Structure 1
Amino acid sequence: MDNFTEYFEQELYSFVPSNECSEKVLIDSINYSIEAGGKRVRPRLVYEFNKICGGNPDAAIPFAAAVEMIHTYSLIHDDLPCMDDDDLRRGKPSNHKVYGEDIALLAGDALLTMAFEALTSDKAVIFAGDTACRRAVNTLAKYAGANGMVGGQVIDLISEDREVPLELIREMDYKKTACLIKAACELGCISAGAEKAKRLAAARYGECIGIAFQIQDDILDCTSTDEQLGKPAGSDWDNMKSTYVSHLGVEKCRELVIELTDSAIASLSVFEEDAEELKRFALDLAHRTK
């Protein structure tokens, strides 16, 4: 995955409209958040699962771009005053602090629609095929929608300022964070035309590392500084949010991250190809510090 980020980002911009238009401020706002970078976790997973299933990497790119666009739109909306009200994202002012709440909201809306444009683009159809594109649209819509990422954000919002049972936190973390990571893993397999057993194994891997990723986020939120995270630390505490950490404590949560990571790695046994990259990726996420 060493050269993946540079390669992917070059391809990602091919799906973004030119800013030489009347709505230039909208495209600039979109590019501002895309250019903020990040770990590119989700597109990397699309690419890796495509590769491990013997797929064409050109088929993976539109699917990876779609997942990253959905993720980026969700971050723009999450930072809005009506949501988490955060002024920093990846060490830079949040989109709405630069472009205003109105343009930020519309930039998120545009990214959401652009994601499905990418999934049904000529490039996607040529390299992945009609059937894969239809399945990808359905999969991403399901995991990003009302019973997935958006539903998780709603649970997060209504959980502020009150004690929330651990079962609801599990549901929230699964929907808000793990669902889109799970979608990325499945989309990688779909882009390669993989059979159902491999898609299910990829989904299991994505679910495990997705929940581990969120628990690690909760740990870092209460053990790191703003500078280390590139976003406000301690926001869960400030918003009186119940988390895995508030229920179980930091050490128990660290143990849980390891258990979930081990389960994710075990799910890779169904793949005939070498899965070392995905094993290492799961371990890197579990031990990340920002």
Structure 2
Amino acid sequence: MTTRAATDFAARLDQTADDTEAVLGHLLGDGLLADEIARPKRLMEAMRYSSLGGGKRLRPFLVVESAAVFGVSRDAALLAGAALECIHCYSLIHDDLPAMDDSDLRRGRPTLHKATDDATAILAGDALLTLAFDIITRDEIHQDPNVRLLLTRALARASGIGGMVGGQMLDLAGEGRFGDREPVDVARLQQMKTGALLRFGCIAGALLGQASPDQYRALDDYGRALGEAFQIADDLLDVEGDAASLGKPAGADAALGKTTFVTQLGLAGAKQRVSDLIGTADAALSIFGAKGDVLRAAARFVAERKN
């Protein structure tokens, strides 16, 4: 990535992060919506603790930039991105719980269950999950209810049994949580646990923009390659990074005995696989010409990130 391209990308990523923060801040305000009876103070504080003030907001960024290829309203894309970010934040809360990864640190500060308690953390995650589906069905996202329906179904499938939640179950089984360690297909597991939400960020833009089948397929292929590259980069950081830069404990995967891309491919093999995936992502975007440049930069950012 050239210096100018990297600077432009960084500025756009930062702007979307700021805009997403503002949208989430509004969504997590204390004002009641129609049919809501009350917004308990402790619950709202916990949801804000885990959703505001941190993260690069890569997933909303992918929604915004994939939608921009089709000239979709930025406000609509930001709202869809906020729904996706609610899912992501809920998953982090639950992953950090003692019954899951038992983590003490997230984004450089205590995890929610450490800052509050397990029950509050569970309920805050539940509330963010359900809020996501409240958001994704709102009229402001798209005037066509069929588009909103497609978005809702895609988000549910990316988040649920055959996506993120199913991937987490496979991960736990691979650790031997339920008896003997089960053989792990790392590529499939991570396509579900991590890749599914990143892929949704890309196809959400195609759905919002009512893309042609070829355009949808291109963003789908891009999202799949990006998702795998992101996870391999994460596995590499777990081996080569440190807690200060990561904002969470380093070496956690090794401590849990997890099978990762690094344990399967080795350091050199994992790095080569990331490079190959970025090439695949770049090729997938050729259908969009220069309109795909920001997404190309996003793929390189994923490959080169240090935290």
Q: What is the CA–CA distance in structure 1 between the aligned matches of 2:292 and 2:242, rounded to whole Å?
A: 34
Q: Aligned-pair distance for 1:180?
A: 0.5
Q: Aligned-pair distance for 1:193?
A: 2.0
> Where in structure 2 are the equivalents of 1:1-290 lying within 5 Å?
1=12, 2-18=14-30, 23-126=40-143, 129-161=144-176, 165=183, 168-290=185-307
Q: What is the CA–CA distance in structure 2 between the aligned matches of 1:219 and 1:36, rounded to whole Å?
A: 26
TM-score by length of 1: 0.94
Contact kept? 1:42, 1:184, Cα under 8 Å = yes
Map Cα deviations across residues 36-93 of structure 1 (whole Å, 9 max, x no partner).
4211111000000110122121221221111100000000000000001111011110
Q: What is the CA–CA distance in structure 1 between the aligned matches of 2:262 and 2:68, rounded to whole Å?
A: 36
Map Cα deviations across residues 125-164 of structure 1 (whole Å, 9 max, x no partner).
44xx212111100100011110110000001111115766
1:59–1:196 distance in 2 versus 1, CA, 3 Å: farther
Q: Aligned-pair distance for 1:13?
A: 2.1
Identity of aligned residues (%): 39
Using the TM superposition, name which of 273-282 and 259-268 deviates more.
273-282
Structure 1 gaps, min length 5: none
The one-letter amino acid of 1:256's match is R
Could you say what secondary structure the match of 2:190 adopts?
helix
Q: Aligned-pair distance for 1:196?
A: 2.3
Using the TM superposition, name which of 71-80 and 184-193 deviates more.
184-193
Q: How many residues align?
A: 287
The one-letter amino acid of 1:288's match is R
Using the TM superposition, name which of 170-179 and 50-59 deviates more.
50-59
Q: What is the CA–CA distance in structure 1 between the aligned matches of 2:211 and 2:21, rounded to whole Å?
A: 25
Q: Aligned-pair distance for 1:15?
A: 2.0
Map Cα deviations across residues 160-215 of structure 1 (whole Å, 9 max, x no partner).
1576656x111111000010000111111212222222122111111111111111
The one-letter amino acid of 2:160's match is G
Q: What is the CA–CA distance in structure 1 between the aligned matches of 2:139 and 2:235, rounded to whole Å?
A: 40
Structure 2 gaps, min length 5: 1-11, 33-37
Contact kept? 1:63, 1:188, Cα under 8 Å = no
TM-score by length of 2: 0.89
Q: Aligned-pair distance for 1:259?
A: 0.5
Q: What is the CA–CA distance in structure 2 between the aligned matches of 1:7 and 1:201, rounded to whole Å?
A: 27
